[in-house]
Amino acid sequence: MTDLLKTSLNRRTVLQAATVGAVGVSPALRALVHAAGSDAPEKKEVKIGFIPLTDCASVVMASVLGFDKKYGVTIVPNKEASWAGVRDKLVNGELDFAHVLYGLIYGVHLGTAGPKKDMAVLMNLNNNGQAITLSKALADKGAVDGPSLAKLMASDKREYTFAGTFPTGTHAMWMHYWLAAAGINPLSGAKLITVPPPQMVANMRVGNMDGFCVGEPWNHRAIMDGIGITANTTQDIWKDHPEKVLGTTADFVKKYPNTTRAVMMAVLEASQWIDASLSNKMKMAETVAGKAYVNTGVDAINQRILGRYQNGMGKTWDDPNHMKFFNDGAVNFPYLSDGMWFLTQHKRWGLLKSHPDYLAVAKEVNQVELYKSVASAMKISVPKDVLRTSKLMDGVVWDGKDPAKYGDGFKIKA
């Protein structure tokens, strides 16, 4: 065979393999592709923003345990002060990826949460593990859950203030949904404010709000500090609900596809590692409690990640639906119906003026095919359907099939 023919065949084989991608090709062909550099990460070092919350753990552990290096990238976790800061840095390119609120990504994509920019949800980072905290002062007056809060607000009239963490984010939507399920209109019957997660406890301590919804460890911290009680967990609102995602811009995915895949693989492997054992969870808690990450006592983190809950009023329970990072792959799949649900709530509360094309938007944002290719390469199972069915706390079923009807069907709305 002539050298020219050899070169031509080799180049053609490499190009074919690059077209297919690293998934589903033989090890020999994959080695050939890698040697040609076509599946090597285009960007070797990536900045991933995170907020000090327990559910940043898979991003942090991917870096700490070296899973990133295994896939040819170096993850640099960047601690951020607020979700608005995360949004701005993602949009302007200061961050490559972020541990970020599901609804924030959708808010940016549609321009309801600041500057409009095409965004991407790569995978879910966790299910469950947030909570609604009410002040000890309210609890002392008998307001310990939704119905008793509604009763107190009806008899003891004043302005009641509740906090979420970002206007289109998950916590704002859980708080709105929870209040409405108790018969309280969150728009006309209460005042809703935005407070960054690490500042929630301090703001409640000085009386700036009556309740808040936030991720752990700040709900448990409020109990430890004697200033709040857990009225409901978010898994009480929606079992196995979507929460934080690995987010980036659509431009980044297009420009750096191999880097994106490598980061997804590293974070997925870290997610597997966290959920694999009790000792791994404890090691994770010790790590993320450190000053560089959440900056709190490990005892504020390690109980609830094991499902050991207390409400601050003497009740304790083991919750099987505690925060999960992998759960045999069930956590991480970016269901289109999950993204669509947040849009129904944005419409419900007036953040969207009209119904969007729910399915089309979800298909633009959620990188389902990319996730499937990564999961396949890692032998992680994926569901057959891109929609899932859930029954929320008020008995209303969400299946993603008629989002406009679902959104319009609530009695309490904007």
pLDDT digits (tens, 9 = 90+) for 117-169: 999 999 999 999 999 999 999 999 999 999 999 999 999 999 999 999 999 99
Asked if 205 contacts 227 with a C-beta cutoff of 8 angstroms, the reply is yes
Indicate if the pLDDT at residue 390 is higher than 60. yes
Please tell me what DSSP assigns to residue 63: H
User: Who's near 140: CB < 8 A, 6+ residues apart?
Assistant: none
What is the average pLDDT across 76-92?
Answer: 98
Integer angstrom CA distances of residue 343 from 31, 118, 367, 390: 43, 15, 17, 16
Share of the chain above pLDDT 90, in %: 91
- pTM for the model stands at 0.91
Beta-sheet strands, E only, within 234-387: 244-249, 308-310, 316-318
User: What whole-number distance in Å separates Cα of residue 63 and Cα of residue 262?
Assistant: 12
Integer angstrom CA distances of residue 35 from 27, 143, 342, 376: 12, 64, 43, 22
167 CB neighbour count, 10 Å cutoff: 20
The confidence band for 13, taking pLDDT boundaries of 50, 70 and 90, is very low
What pLDDT score does 37 carry?
Answer: 55
What pLDDT score does 38 carry?
Answer: 75
**3 state SS of 30:** helix
The residue type of 332 is N
Query: How distant is the alpha carbon of residue 195 from its chain centre?
Result: 17
Indicate if the pLDDT at residue 11 is higher than 50. no
**H/E element holding 356?**
none
The number of helix segments (H) and strand segments (E) in the chain equals 19, 14
Integer angstrom CA distances of residue 307 from 155, 163, 239, 302: 35, 24, 14, 9
Please report, for the chain, the start and end positions of each structural domain, with discontinuous segments joined by +. Answer: 45-127+243-335+356-384
Name the fold adopted by 45-127+243-335+356-384: D-Maltodextrin-Binding Protein; domain 2 (3.40.190)
Does residue 257 have a cis bond before it (omega within 30 degrees)? Answer: no
Residues facing residue 132 across a β-bridge? 213, 232
